[in-house]
């Protein structure tokens, strides 16, 4: 297809949009969707995402890239030019709970997640049959305190040899090492089962129950070195009340978790998320 996607960030100043849109016009590109945001209009940072249709986009890709390089350098832009038809290669990490995995695969089969799910990795065998029945390779890599380093090594090798672009922690209940995480900046997305920053860490539903909250939530975020402190991508909540046991909270929470994660993943795959400091700009 002829659809391209341009992602830009740089210091804001007048003329950026003029220059970029003039460049697109020269290539007879039609803007399909355009989003921009400045942190401040005087001395802020400028972020832009443009989706466009351009005749012979694939054929002329390297020509386009070279020519945009000039535009970009005059504004000292960070930028990416991508073909929208390039699917990212995704790996899903799971443990024993299947609701997030099911939701992702259900959306995937319907064509709502534009990606290539290359594998599911798990520290349990529980999901093997289900995953393989979908024709997706399943890798069982057990993790114990002792074997963690070597398990991660195996995971990293899998990701590398399969050229994985994006890792989804779909209720994978293990903490990844600093090394793993820093190798994939803003490319590992986790679903945390609370409305962060409330209930960072383990057993959020148990603690929500203890605290007597009236809403429970879920948070999709990029994983960084600090536990549950990475850039937040999406959040949502559901109402609960005094009658709901911890089991009920978990049941209700599953439904929030899976839809929050699915939205975050969809946005990532469409390059709608720009990270800025520890915050995200979502052009949804």
Helix (H, G, I), strand (E, B) or coil at 142: coil
Least distance to a second copy from the beta carbon of 219, Å? 8
Bridge-based pairing state of the strands 273-276 and 279-282: antiparallel
- Residue numbers 30-89 binding a second copy by CB under 8 A: 30-32, 34, 36-38, 41, 53
Annotated catalytic residue within 12, 98, 165, 228:
228
Residue 242, interface with a second copy (CB under 8 A)? yes
Euclidean distance between CA atoms 71 and 19, whole angstroms:
7
Least distance to a second copy from the beta carbon of 22, Å? 5
Euclidean distance between CA atoms 278 and 112, whole angstroms:
28
Task: For residue 116, give the DSSP letter.
Answer: E
- Residue numbers 146-205 binding a second copy by CB under 8 A: 195-199
- 82 or 255: whose CB is closer to a second copy? 255
Can you state the angle between helices 246-269 and 204-211, rounded to 10 degrees?
130
Q: How many residues does the chain have?
A: 284
Phi and psi at residue 31, in whole multiples of 5°? -75, 125
Least distance to a second copy from the beta carbon of 158, Å? 28
Euclidean distance between CA atoms 136 and 20, whole angstroms:
40
- 69 or 214: whose CB is closer to a second copy? 214
Is residue 228 annotated as a catalytic residue, yes or no?
Answer: yes
Interacting residue ranges for a second copy, rule: CB under 8 A: 12-15, 17-18, 21-22, 24-25, 28-32, 34, 36-38, 41, 53, 99, 102, 106, 112, 133, 195-199, 211-215, 217, 231-237, 241-243, 251, 255, 259, 278-282
Q: Catalytic residue positions?
A: 228
């Amino acid at each position: 297809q002829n659809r391209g996607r341009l992602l830009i960030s740089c210091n804001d100043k007048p003329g950026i949009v003029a220059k970029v849109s003039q460049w697109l016009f020269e290539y007879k590109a039609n803007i399909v969707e355009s989003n921009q945001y400045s942190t401040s209009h005087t001395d802020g940072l400028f972020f832009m995402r443009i989706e466009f249709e351009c005749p012979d986009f694939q054929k002329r890709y390297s020509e386009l890239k070279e020519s945009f390089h000039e535009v970009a350098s005059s504004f000292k832009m960070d930028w990416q030019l991508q073909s929208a038809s390039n699917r990212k290669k995704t790996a899903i990490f799971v443990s024993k709970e299947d609701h997030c995995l099911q939701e992702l695969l259900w959306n995937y089969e319907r064509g709502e997640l534009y990606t290539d799910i290359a594998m599911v990795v798990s520290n349990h065998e529980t999901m093997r049959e289900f995953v393989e029945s979908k024709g997706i390779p399943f890798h069982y890599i057990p993790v114990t305190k002792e074997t963690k380093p070597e398990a991660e090594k195996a995971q990293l090798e899998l990701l590398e040899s399969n050229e994985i672009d994006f890792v989804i922690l779909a209720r994978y209940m293990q903490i990844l090492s600093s090394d793993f995480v820093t190798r994939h900046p803003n490319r590992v997305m986790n679903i945390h089962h609370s409305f962060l920053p409330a209930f960072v860490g383990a057993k959020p539903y148990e603690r929500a129950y203890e605290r007597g909250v009236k809403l429970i939530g879920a948070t999709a975020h990029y994983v960084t070195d600090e536990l549950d402190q990475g850039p937040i991508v999406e959040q949502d909540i559901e109402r609960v009340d005094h009658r709901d046991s911890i089991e009920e909270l978990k049941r209700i929470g599953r439904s929030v978790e899976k839809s929050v994660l699915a939205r975050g993943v969809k946005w990532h795959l469409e390059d709608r998320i720009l990270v800025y400091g520890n915050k995200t700009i979502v052009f949804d």
